[in-house]
Amino acid sequence: MKIGIVGAGATGLAIAYYLHKKGHQITIFEQAPFVGGQASTFDTTAGKLERGYHHLFTSDEYILNLITDIGLSEQMAWSDSRVGNFANGSIYDFATPIDLLKYKPMPLIDRLRIGFITLYLQRLQNWNHLENVTAVDWLSSKVGKKAYDSFWKPMLKGKFGSEYYDKISMAWIWGKFHTRFASRKSMFSKEQLGYPICTFSEIFEVLKTILQQSGNKIHLSKTVRQILVENGEVNGLFYENTPPQWTSPSKINDESFFEDDSYTKSKKNKWLYEDFDNIIVTAPSNIFSRLLPIEYDKYIAELKKIEYLSAVVVILILNKKFSDIYWMNITDESIPFVGLIEQTNLLPPKYYKNKHVLYLANYMSKDNPMYQMDGNNLLNSYLPHLKKINSSFDQTWIEEAYNQKIEAAQPIITSGYSKLMPSHSTPIKGLYLANTSQIYPEDRGTNYSIQLAKKIEMIIY
């Protein structure tokens, strides 16, 4: 069959790879001028950096099997995780049960309660009874309001904002626990984290090469505008060239765009069209809904019930190490970002020209004033808080800085989410959906993107 795929991120490329092995003819349309989505890289003075931060767990069987299948398994580097919390003006290790017992910001009784609940969730296999209760209600009732307020609440608010944090399903928390604890050799050991020395981008470049060498097509800088449906069956899609002013991420202190009027002219031309037997869309549900004919208004309304937060990431290239922690959760609500991910504490600086790479992570709605800030103002608002975390930090440590905004990065997983989650099959014959809103109860990640691809492979024969 002739199959069109919208999106050349992890899911789209993996779907194409699996279906081409079954003999299907594949064409991918990608809005960006590169493949790999947020796991793709861009050039810096520290070498190639990912647009987003990623790592793998030892239990991530879907992507690890794919990496092995395409001959890159020897590129995987594994190490004990270095996880910490910043609370009450100090950094605390937070990778093992012993670290929890030493966690001074909470009374011992609260630490013990959290420890017991963690053990319970780790061993719990059936999560269905957690789906219809919020994390706020369940955790508060089990560990007490004080422990919840000092530990869980700041992290939930950081991840989902004041608008949504108290609506998040406890099943989502269960999914986070199971992913992380499955990557430990024992209950008392640290989780093992992996990263491909060649970068995640190379995985997707290899997939791209395999597909193209097999006669499949990957159209970059092409924006799909509409899906053509006739008599309830998909026929094809319309697309056009993506605007040339693509910057992702934008360099802070250099916010200019490449000026070119070719896109303005191209808008006056007709959209291009290609027909397909099947189409698979990997874009977020809100974007997918815009591609559909208006007569599917009821289905479109269901898709629009899926709400998202955007990710705002500041990427710093430093000439000094910021901390010894790879993944630092921020539980201090006065700090305007939710996490610090120091990539060079996962993969050593020698792989980054002996520089240090720090990601500052945040999630927010697009109407949040911080989302509207340009890179310079955003970084300036962050700098005093970096000094709170490391009093030695100085702005002169920063050699380069980048700002990345990712729309629809995090689906809002509310209680009873399975009733909202769209099916891979749609009301239109031959049209399928595979995106992060369908990863549940686990949190979205590269491994589950590949799992989505395997599910689609099983649907399309």
Using CB atoms within 10 A of its CB, is residue 419 exposed (0-12), middle (13-18) or buried (19+)? exposed
Bigger pLDDT: 268 or 416?
416
CA atoms of 79 and 87, how far apart (whole Å):
25
In whole angstroms, how large is the CA radius of gyration of the chain? 22
Mean pLDDT, residues 156-184 taken together: 85
pLDDT at 268 over 80: no
**Residue 270: burial class (beta carbons within 10 Å; 0-12, 13-18, 19+):** exposed
Query: Distance (Å, rounded) from C-alpha 127 to C-alpha 166?
Result: 19
Lowest mean pLDDT among 3-7, 149-153, 456-460: 149-153
Residue 255 has pLDDT above 80, yes or no: no
Provide DSSP, 74-139.
GGEEEEE--EEEEETTEEEE-SSHHHHHT-TTS-HHHHHHHHHHHHHHHH----GGGTTSBHHHHH
Question: In this predicted model, which residue has the larger pLDDT, 192 or 71?
Answer: 71
**Mean pLDDT of the region 221-232:** 97
**Mean pLDDT of the residues in the chain:** 92
Task: Provide, for the chain, the percentages of residues in helix, strand and coil under a 3-state DSSP scheme, each rounded to the nearest 5.
Answer: 40, 25, 35
In this prediction, residue 273 carries a pLDDT of: 97
Confidence of residue 95 (pLDDT cuts 50, 70, 90): confident
Q: Supply angle C-alpha 379, 196, 452, rounded to 5.
A: 90
CA dist 408 and 406 (Å) reads 7
Q: What are 316-358's pLDDT values in tens digits?
A: 999 999 999 999 999 998 999 999 999 999 999 999 999 999 9
Phi and psi for 281 in degrees, rounded to 5? -105, 125
Angstrom distance (rounded) from CA 166 to CA 439:
20
Q: What is the pLDDT of residue 243?
A: 72
| Two structure tokens written together for 209 | 């090469």
Tell me if 26 sits within 8 A of 456, measured CB to CB.
Answer: no
d(CA 422, CA 289): 12
Instruction: Give 351-389 pLDDT, tens digit per residue.
Output: 999 999 999 999 999 999 999 999 999 999 999 999 999
pLDDT bucket at 123, cuts 50 / 70 / 90: confident
Distance (Å, rounded) from C-alpha 224 to C-alpha 234? 14
Closest by CA to 180, choosing from 295, 254, 81, 279, is 81
- For position 266, what pLDDT does the model report? 43
Contact between 9 and 50 under an 8 Å Cβ cutoff? The reply is no
pLDDT at 80 over 80: yes
Q: Provide the terminal-to-terminal Cα distance of the chain, rounded to the nearest Å.
A: 9
Alpha helices by DSSP H, listed for 291-443, are 297-303, 369-372, 375-389
Mean pLDDT of 150-159: 89
Above 60 in pLDDT, residue 260?
Answer: no
Q: Is the dihedral of CA 44, 349, 70, 435 positive or negative?
A: negative
**27-47: b or e for each residue (b if 16 or more CB lie within 10 Å)?**
bbbbbbebbbbbbbbbebebe
Does pLDDT of 161 surpass 90? no
**216 or 96, which is more confident:** 216
Confidence (pLDDT) at 199: 95
Helix (H, G, I), strand (E, B) or coil at 196: strand
| Listed residue (341, 327, 316) closest to 393, CA to CA | 316
What are the structural domains, with CATH classification, of the chain? 2-68+198-306+415-460 (3.50.50.60), 97-159+168-182 (no CATH)
Give me the phi and psi of 440, to 5 degrees please. -165, 135
Residue 444 DSSP label: P
The answer on pLDDT for 39 being more than 70 is yes
Rounded mean pLDDT of 428-449? 96
What pLDDT is attached to residue 363?
94
Rounded Cα distance, 100 and 136, in Å: 20
In the structure, what pLDDT confidence band is assigned to residue 188 with cuts at 50, 70 and 90?
Answer: low
Among 54-58, 81-85, 164-168, 188-192, where is mean pLDDT lowest? Answer: 188-192
245 pLDDT band, cuts 50/70/90, is: low
* DSSP conformational letter for 405: E
User: For 29, how many CA atoms within 13 A lie in the half-sphere containing its CB?
Assistant: 27
184 falls in which pLDDT band (50, 70, 90)? Answer: low
> Could you give the CA distance from residue 117 to residue 111 in angstroms, rounded to a whole number?
10
pTM higher than the cut 0.95? no
pLDDT at res. 264: 37
List of residues 6+ apart from 254 with CB closer than 8 A: none
Cβ contact 33:220 at 8 Å: yes
Residue type, 175: G
